[in-house]
Structure 1
Amino acid sequence: MATAGKVIRCRAAVAWAPSKPLSVEEVEVAPPKAGEVRIKIVATGICHTDDHGLRGSFPNVDFPVIPGHEGAGIVESIGEGVTSVKPGDKVIPLAIPRCGECSFCRNPDSNYCQKFHFSEPQNLLPDKTSRFSCKGKQIHHFMWISTFAEYTVVPEYAVAKIDAAAPLDKICLFGCGFSTGYGAAINTAKVKPGSTCAIFGLGGVGLSVVMGCKAAGASRIIAVDINSDKFSKAKELGATDCINPRDLRKPVQEVLTEMTGQGVDYSFEAIGLADTMIAALASCNMNTGVCVMIGELDSGLKISIDPMLLVTGRTWKGTIFGGWKSRECIPKLVSSYLEKKFNSDLLITHTLPFAEVNKGFELLRAGKSIRTVLLF
């Protein structure tokens, strides 16, 4: 492309400091270096993790920063040595990379990579420099991919090439929310046909768990949220029952145990609150129940539990990106979408022009949206 090798000036949403509104600015995006890919972002979703980052409650975030990690776009140019993608390819940038060299990437049972943000901050690219600048200042990357920018630069091993037929304004959700929730049921919990499930939190991730439980053949899917407005969407996606804890006279875990006789087979926490994490664990049956923790506590917070919840055999486990090996599995998941094996489009409740990014966050915080997609 004509822009290859040149600095590109474009729009991006910059967070200059924690807990401040994003500022849509003109930024400079440097060309990719060896092993890097510059992507023109077409669409990006707004995820709770972005909000954690903006509030300064997500670990290892340095300001000023360009957030965003749920995007889809087209390769604009590539650096020396890049072979897996070429200009014009449709891609999803990956917050969880696949370096292919660390012990986790080499482990067939793992989908984690030691280059990921929890092990090695992704505020700068691997050479410890940024490709973003604004008003003469260096701007940090967010989990390397910073999809709230019209152009972004990422390492090659943080890019998944996808089918050219994929609609970027729909499958951008596969960069985080849908993949995480759907995979938590399919890959992490390995939900069995005929089982009972409870999902705490009906945002984009929680509703994707509902979809995964339905696809796995669960016979009873109980959706739990304090916002009853989300119940109709949950039922549309496969929930058989909906519970608002504020309407109950006893703890929700007790109600779930009474509803199922012994507790659910699988429970999922997709909020990121200590109380709901403990309730989700206690709601699954005491011997073979599996509780999957998806939500993120604010950085630095801890929870304590009664160890008797685990002594009799419950399994409490976490999941990252739904257990998918990102570079290998996301293209296959997009192909399944194109084959209409599921309809993740139902998660998108709002589509806004990129300039209205702060409105998108207002909708998220008010509980009025499931997923807002921003279009450049």
Structure 2
Amino acid sequence: MLSTRVAGKKFGVTDFVNPSKLGESPLSQVIIEMTGGGADYCFECIGVASVMTEAFRSAKQGNGKTVILGLEKDGKPISLPSIEFLFGKCVMGSLFGGIKPKTDIPILAKKCMSKELELEKLITHEVGLQEINTAFDLLLQGKSLRCIIWMDKLAA
């Protein structure tokens, strides 16, 4: 089974930052220092307003783009420093990755069938329905990327 770090490296992730190990340093400042001015693209995937703000602040001035993928479950507004927009940063949302179902799903299906897009490599665990709590524990521990829960598989 792959750890999320190992899986990320296999799919091209170059650097990892654990915010819980930064002490008093803001995540955006660490990313700006790591990248020499900010990331070209920042993706927020979990739906937390404060993380959306940090992603925006982590983007490079001039042409940094922040893509919001997560839905803020409590409906909290995000607060972004307006001056950073004047220096060329932008933020946008993307529902389902911005795909156009009619044209893009057949292309993705073809790539999956030809093994050009290897989705099975994203699966780190498989459990039966009775082990659903194990699946959640693995996710919370950062040990699971994607877990398949089999409805017909009983625990041994």
TM-score, normalization by structure 2 = 0.81
- What's 1:255 paired with? 30
Question: How many corresponding residue pairs?
Answer: 148
| Correspondences of 1:127-146 after superposition (within 5 Å) | none
- Residue type at the aligned position of 2:107: K
Query: Given that residues 32 and 58 in structure 2 are in contact (C-alpha distance below 8 angstroms), is that contact kept between their aligned partners in structure 1?
Result: yes
- What's 1:294 paired with? 69
In the alignment, structure 2 segments of 5+ residues that lack a partner are: 152-156
Query: Given that residues 127 and 148 in structure 2 are in contact (C-alpha distance below 8 angstroms), is that contact kept between their aligned partners in structure 1?
Result: yes
Change beyond 3 A, Cα 1:281–1:346? same
Q: Is residue 266 of structure 1 aligned with residue 30 of structure 2?
A: no
Alpha-carbon separation, structure 1, partners of 2:144 and 2:15: 21
2:87 to 312, 337, 341: 312
Change beyond 3 A, Cα 1:342–1:247? same
1:240 to 5, 10, 14: 14
**Cα distance, 1:276 vs. partner?**
1.5
TM-score, normalization by structure 1 = 0.36
- What's 1:347 paired with? 122
Alpha-carbon separation, structure 2, partners of 1:325 and 1:336: 16
- What's 2:108 paired with? 333
> Which is richer in strand?
1
- Residue type at the aligned position of 1:237: F
SS in 1 for 2:16: strand
**Cα distance, 1:363 vs. partner?**
3.5
RMSD: 2.1
- What's 1:199 paired with? none
In the alignment, structure 1 segments of 5+ residues that lack a partner are: 1-228
- What's 2:154 paired with? none
Alpha-carbon separation, structure 2, partners of 1:341 and 1:356: 32
**Cα distance, 1:309 vs. partner?**
2.3
Alpha-carbon separation, structure 2, partners of 1:291 and 1:266: 6
| Correspondences of 1:67-106 after superposition (within 5 Å) | none
1:285 to 54, 60, 64: 60
| Correspondences of 1:99-248 after superposition (within 5 Å) | 230-248=4-22
Same amino acid, percent of matched pairs: 36
Q: Deviations over 1:230-258 (max 9, x none)?
A: 32221122112222223335222112212
Alpha-carbon separation, structure 2, partners of 1:239 and 1:368: 16
SS in 1 for 2:149: strand
Query: Relative to structure 2, which stretch is displaced further, 323-332 or 280-289?
Result: 323-332
SS in 2 for 1:276: helix
Q: Deviations over 1:332-368 (max 9, x none)?
A: 2021122222322121111123454454344434443
Using CA pairs under 8 Å that are at least 6 residues apart, name the structure with larger relative contact order, 1 or 2. Answer: 2
> Which is richer in helix?
2
Which ranges of 4 or more aligned residues in structure 1 deviate by more than 6 Å?
none
- What's 1:375 paired with? 150
Alpha-carbon separation, structure 1, partners of 2:129 and 2:142: 20
Q: Which has the larger radius of gyration?
A: 1
Alpha-carbon separation, structure 1, partners of 2:15 and 2:133: 34
Alpha-carbon separation, structure 2, partners of 1:326 and 1:233: 27
Alpha-carbon separation, structure 1, partners of 2:30 and 2:138: 31
Alpha-carbon separation, structure 2, partners of 1:371 and 1:286: 34
- Residue type at the aligned position of 1:232: V
Query: Given that residues 56 and 80 in structure 2 are in contact (C-alpha distance below 8 angstroms), is that contact kept between their aligned partners in structure 1?
Result: no
Change beyond 3 A, Cα 1:267–1:353? same
| Correspondences of 1:57-68 after superposition (within 5 Å) | none
Alpha-carbon separation, structure 1, partners of 2:137 and 2:37: 40
Q: Deviations over 1:128-179 (max 9, x none)?
A: xxxxxxxxxxxxxxxxxxxxxxxxxxxxxxxxxxxxxxxxxxxxxxxxxxxx
- Residue type at the aligned position of 1:326: P
Change beyond 3 A, Cα 1:270–1:331? same
